[in-house]
Amino acid sequence: MALLDAVRAVTSFDPPPTLPECDLEQLVHVLTAHGLAPLASYQVEHTRLGAGLPATFREALLGQYQGVVNDNVLKLVGLRGSLRAAPDVPVIVLEAAAYVDWLYPHMAFRPVGDLRIALRGADAERFATAVKDQLQLARTEQGGRVAVFTDGRITVTAQEGLWPGGPPDEPLFERRVPYRAFGPSVARPSPEDAFLCAVGDQAIQGLLTPLITWIDVRELLRLPLDADGVRARAAAVGLSRALYGVSRLVAHFFPEVAPAAERLRPALAAAERAAIDRVVEAAQDPARLRHVRGTEELARLVVAP
């Protein structure tokens, strides 16, 4: 598939010297819709991949790149300032804010998007009090397991476990890795838990998520993950189906990490495997590149009850 080959080329951290032939207008649309335009812009402007590509194509991507740089700085500076107001509360920075200087060579490669953190439920009130001059509680969701804070410019969503609305997960806190750039009690997940957080996020959207999130999965798979530990944790928190589906789908999008994905793939009963295979096959359809959100029906299928 020419379009997917082109997406793979411009989102590789070591891109090929030439871009596979494709409809460039369609490629810009897909890269923009899936949060990949900043990464693609950097590769087009700074590697041989961009040689000979039309100025209109490069300019369309460059505008996205510049906007993401500014937005990322605003959000990360705001998050850092807020978390430093709660120096004694254990906080785990999740998703893009944790990945941007861990998995990615350049801050502009990964739009930060939504800011998310994990908090123990017992620490929620203490956190809200500590940051009240920086962030105000806007609302709670998922029966109180998710809290949304804002200062009018940035929004920070706090959750208790591996995914929004998921069960409290003490191992997430026991295995955390210090991330002191954001504060003395701030951490990021262990590599295995970061991977399972990504799996959980894919699951609750039925595996139909922006492709930038699959870059996260790709790069997490390059880390030395404890395969047995990942499978055991996934089973304990109801993510075995999702882990199976994610391991298959990321191998389709990025074949270079297929062996690493296969090592993590859990065994499922035949009926479960067939059901998830159908979800994965639907997500592999070329038309999927134009759709970035799944459905509740698919999410219920992927996440175990």
Tokens of 235: 């089973």
Where along the chain do the CATH 3.30.460.40 domains lie? Answer: 86-189
- The Cβ of residue 61 has, within 10 Å, a number of other Cβ atoms equal to 26
Give the pLDDT score at 302.
58
Q: Residue 115: which pLDDT band, with cuts at 50, 70 and 90?
A: very high
Confidence of residue 33 (pLDDT cuts 50, 70, 90): confident
Measured between alpha carbons, how far is 163 from 82 in angstroms, rounded to an integer? Answer: 22
Q: Which amino acid is at 218?
A: R
User: pTM value?
Assistant: 0.94
Average pLDDT over residues 14-30: 94
Q: 213 exposed, middle or buried (CB, 10 Å; 0-12, 13-18, 19+)?
A: buried
Would you state the pLDDT for residue 305?
A: 47
Q: Over the stretch 125-144, which tens digit does the pLDDT of each residue have? A: 999 999 999 999 999 998 88
Please check whether residue 40 is in contact with residue 70, taking contact to mean a CB–CB distance below 8 angstroms. no
Q: What confidence score (pLDDT) does residue 1 get?
A: 73
Topology (CATH) of 86-189: Beta Polymerase; domain 2 (3.30.460)
Give the confidence band of 45 by pLDDT, cuts at 50, 70, 90: very high
Are 190 and 13 a contacting pair, CB within 8 Å?
Answer: no
* pLDDT score of 280 more than 90: yes
pLDDT of residue 298: 53
